[in-house]
Amino acid sequence: MAVTGLDIYKLLPQTNCADCGVPTCLAFAMKVAAKQAALDDCPHVSEESKEALGTASQPPQKLVTIGSGDSALKIGNETVMFRHEEKFHHPCGIAVLVNDTDDLDAKAAAIKNLFLERMGQNIGVDVVAVRCGSGDGQKLKDAAMKMQAALNLPMVLIAESADKLQAAAEGLAEARPLLWERNGPSDALVELGARTGLPIVVEGDLDKCDGDVQKARQAGIEEMVLCPGEVTPRGALQFLTMSRRAALKRTYRPLGYPVLAYAWSQDPVQLSLEACHYVLKYGSIVVLDEDRPEYVLPVLVARQSVYVDPQVPVQVEAKVHEINEPHDKSPLLVTTNFSLTYYCVLGEVEASRVPTRILTVDTEGTSVLTAWAADKFGPEQIKEAIEKSGVFDQLAEGYQKPVIPGLVAVISGELSEELGRKVIVGPREAGGIRRFFNSEWPTLVGS
Ligand code: SF4
């Protein structure tokens, strides 16, 4: 029988503390009943309540942990089809493929290089997929141990048959690798997974996965990851979408597991695009046989973009940011604390090498025009932010002239009156900053 929101509410602490991200226990209970939140999102719910609600309160998609310790990757446990309905909870892992016949030192160095800083976050490859290309299980184990020592990342171990996985699985059991027997799982892999307690991959079309998951569950395996195998991008996207719909919309438990998608395309551009699609459409681990930054970094950016909570504007601290070691005759740019806006401005200022201060006004993470329209980025708010920051004290007389975005040129007169100083209208877009500096601060350009 379906559990209602009220059934769930009765078993919650009813303190309305909002630690779950929802203002009241009742609202949270309704979300759990609608499968838009997991009971575990309430940190105060008792074990008795969890037991009482039983499987009906379980998230429609199983949470699976790959790896251990600080670098462990938790995937699955998603509750919505579309990000605008709520948010996606567990960012997918991006895995780079390594063969046990590769130059492992070179591979480890290449993987370490696959990271970037974007919007104030360091993002990088967070899974290594080690394949038994040699056909020798011992060699796979040695390679996996070497990558584990070099990178300490969660691992997917791949082989054509379960016997080739055995040595690595047993030797690395504490590191909780995901075991992927191609076209598996065979009975031997199910036995290995059950004995070691490691998660396994269930590969094939939806019908095969359905049967194999039930077989593995009967053997005692809890954590599994589905995989459509070597299919076309279209086939993989169909698999990803249909399994997600079956789990979330029909609460069909045999398909309620995260999905691993492998980008098989030979052309590296195609492969990068394929991987981005899988990231955006429900992949929980995406494996790429590619370690060149120009093809992997776009996939990392796609992941960061889709796993941002759409209900929480991404913002930076409202303060004066000093770029390129500014002095008392440096420009003072004023913008909002919306991350995307700030990092666009920052990128252009850094590239210009002009010593600059950027004052970010607290607009609750909204962009320039949105903030202006909502009365959060007008003369009053900018004046208050300037005074609070004390930034004019760092500037010489005659240089206390804030530069405001061209999009809000209309406020320049009023702001000038409020401050009793000249206000400069800057470019409308961040892309115009370097040209603007060339005309307004030519002596500082390239300094
Ligand atoms: S965290 Fe738990 S107790 Fe607090 S409001 Fe949410 S459901 Fe209620």
Same domain, 161 and 235: yes
Structure tokens at 443: 């002596």
Task: Give the whole-angstrom CA distance, residue 204 versus residue 161.
Answer: 15
Question: What is each CA distance from 275 to 4, 29, 126, in whole angstroms?
Answer: 38, 36, 15
CB 199 within 8 A of CB 226: no
Of ligand 1's atoms, which has the minimum distance to the CA of residue 24? 5
Range of the domain at 10: 5-57
- With b meaning 16 or more CB within 10 Å and e meaning fewer, what string describes 8-36? bbebbeeeeeeebebebbbebbbbbbebb
Same domain, 279 and 324: no
The alpha carbon dihedral of 276, 281, 284, 289 has a sign of: negative
Same domain, 133 and 255: yes
- At 351, which CATH number? 3.40.50.11600
Q: Where are the alpha helices (DSSP H) in 54-97?
A: none
CB 411 within 8 A of CB 404: yes
Cα of 82 vs centre of ligand 1, distance in Å, is 24
- Number of domains the chain contains: 3
Same domain, 195 and 74: yes
Residues 6+ apart with CB under 8 A from 192: 162, 165, 166, 169, 179, 198, 200
Same domain, 174 and 285: yes
- Is the pLDDT at 54 greater than 70? The verdict is no
Among the residue ranges 108-122, 158-172, 197-211, the one predicted with the least confidence is: 108-122
pLDDT, the chain, mean: 93
Residue 293 falls within a domain, yes or no? yes
- Is the pLDDT at 50 greater than 70? The verdict is yes
- At 97, which CATH number? 3.20.20.20
Cα of 11 vs centre of ligand 1, distance in Å, is 11
Find where tokens 């991350």 sit: 339
Q: What does DSSP assign to residue 423?
A: -
Of 306, 338, 355, which one is at a domain's C-terminal end?
A: 306
Residue 100 falls within a domain, yes or no? yes
Among the residue ranges 6-10, 57-61, 63-67, 157-161, the one predicted with the least confidence is: 57-61
Minimum CA distance residue for ligand 1 atom 8: 25
Q: Which residues contact ligand 1 via a Cβ below 6 A? A: 12-13, 15-20, 22, 25, 28, 42, 44
Can you give the pTM of this predicted structure?
A: 0.78
Same domain, 74 and 53: no
Same domain, 121 and 233: yes
Q: How confident is the model at residue 102 (pLDDT cuts 50, 70, 90)?
A: very high
Of ligand 1's atoms, which has the minimum distance to the CA of residue 43? 1
Question: Which of these, 315, 336, 355, 321, lies nearest to 430 by C-alpha position?
Answer: 336
Same domain, 148 and 197: yes
* Residue 398 region by backbone torsions, left for phi larger than 0, else alpha for psi between -120 and 50, else beta: left
Question: Which of these, 386, 404, 382, 385, lies nearest to 395 by C-alpha position?
Answer: 386
Minimum CA distance residue for ligand 1 atom 7: 25
Residue 119 falls within a domain, yes or no? yes
Minimum CA distance residue for ligand 1 atom 4: 17
Rounded to 5°, the CA angle 265-270-274 comes to 75
Task: Give the whole-angstrom CA distance, residue 415 versus residue 423.
Answer: 7
- Is the pLDDT at 199 greater than 70? The verdict is yes
Residue 313 falls within a domain, yes or no? no
Residue 312 falls within a domain, yes or no? no
- At 47, which CATH number? 1.10.15.40
Same domain, 96 and 234: yes
- Is the pLDDT at 446 greater than 70? The verdict is no
Same domain, 121 and 182: yes
DSSP characters over 402-418: EEEPGGGGGGHHHHHHH
- Is the pLDDT at 53 greater than 80? The verdict is no
pLDDT digits (tens, 9 = 90+) for 236-291: 999 999 999 999 988 899 999 999 999 999 999 999 999 999 999 999 999 999 99
pLDDT digits (tens, 9 = 90+) for 332-366: 999 999 998 999 999 999 999 999 999 999 999 99
Of 37, 57, 77, which one is at a domain's C-terminal end?
A: 57
Cα of 40 vs centre of ligand 1, distance in Å, is 10
144 or 439: which carries more pLDDT confidence?
144
Same domain, 258 and 335: no
Q: What does DSSP assign to residue 314?
A: -
Same domain, 40 and 186: no
